[in-house]
Amino acid sequence: MPNIALVPVDRDLDVTTVPRVRKAIDSLIDSGCKRIILNMAGVGFVDSAGMALLFREVRRMRQAGGLLSLTNVSDRVMRGLRIARLVDFAPVSAAGNGQEVPELDPSAMPLWRTALRVDPDNLQDTRQKVEHLLARMPFSDDQMFDITLAIGEAMGNAIDHTDGKDALVTVTAYEDRAVIDVTDRGCGISVSAGQPLPCSGKPNEERGRGIKLMRLLADSVVICRRSGGRGTLVRIVKLV
């Protein structure tokens, strides 16, 4: 079971659809998934049963040490979530409201930069070291949760899609953002928005899903060939 899951809600969330959505979410939570994103693009109405479900699942995820959020929420549904004050308890983003990531001023000097080797035999240890570094930044708990998951996905890809050697993660702090580079010495790829990873024996559908999830969790994700060398660079940006 993945640590991150995107659940599409393609119909209004009402008394008739709540059982199906509850079953899908509860199955993920019970299986140990720690990050669930509900894609509400197909939802035009949420009744009291749907609202109760959202509050219930947000609480369940918090109690399990995880996080549930809603994305692509219509204006009409957003108004209801604000009246019910669900937005006070879970991250909610409106449809078409992706955050613009401004270009970094070329003259901007980093506050600090640290590079770590990604341990292919102990990814948990590397993740904890990266999380300790990011704790120096003024991120909220929810932002920390998301960025560490996105970085964990990138580091996992660097190991899974290569022989696991020479993978590095570099964390650079600026006044308004953290920039995290995960590099490897694999086949070297470049991936545009929505394009699956081409270099592996694993199904492209699974690889494309990982990229999509990273982009939902971070403010910017760029995947390209390393300049001046063999391998891939995954650059993740999280704004403060």
Is residue 60 domain-resident?
yes
Q: Tell me which of 198 and 163 has the higher pLDDT.
A: 163
Question: What's the predicted TM-score (pTM) here?
Answer: 0.75
The two three-digit tokens of residue 41, written as one number: 């693009």
Whether residues 133 and 189 fall in one domain = yes
Q: Tell me which of 98 and 19 has the higher pLDDT.
A: 19
Q: Average the pLDDT over 151-168 and give the result.
A: 84
Number of structural domains (the chain) is: 2
The two three-digit tokens of residue 227, written as one number: 């300049």
Is residue 46 domain-resident?
yes
Q: Average the pLDDT over 16-21 and give the result.
A: 96
Is residue 90 domain-resident?
yes
Which pLDDT value is given to residue 199? 46
Whether residues 200 and 151 fall in one domain = yes
Whether 187 has a pLDDT exceeding 50, the answer reads yes
Which pLDDT value is given to residue 98? 59
Q: Average the pLDDT over 173-191 and give the result.
A: 87
- Domain of 64, in residue numbers: 4-94
Whether residues 122 and 233 fall in one domain = yes
Confidence class for position 203, pLDDT limits 50, 70, 90? very low
Whether residues 130 and 209 fall in one domain = yes
Whether 198 has a pLDDT exceeding 50, the answer reads no
Q: pLDDT of 57-116, one tens digit each?
A: 999 999 999 999 999 999 999 999 999 999 999 999 988 655 678 899 889 999 999 999
Whether residues 78 and 152 fall in one domain = no
Whether residues 129 and 202 fall in one domain = yes
Whether residues 191 and 130 fall in one domain = yes
Which pLDDT value is given to residue 200? 43
Burial per residue of 15-52, b for 16 or more beta-carbon CB atoms within 10 angstroms, e otherwise: eebbeebeeebeebbeeebbbbbbbbeebeebbeebbe
Whether residues 126 and 217 fall in one domain = yes
Question: Could you give the strand order of the β-sheet that contains 67-73, starting from the edge strand earlier in sequence?
Answer: 4-8, 35-39, 67-73, 92-94
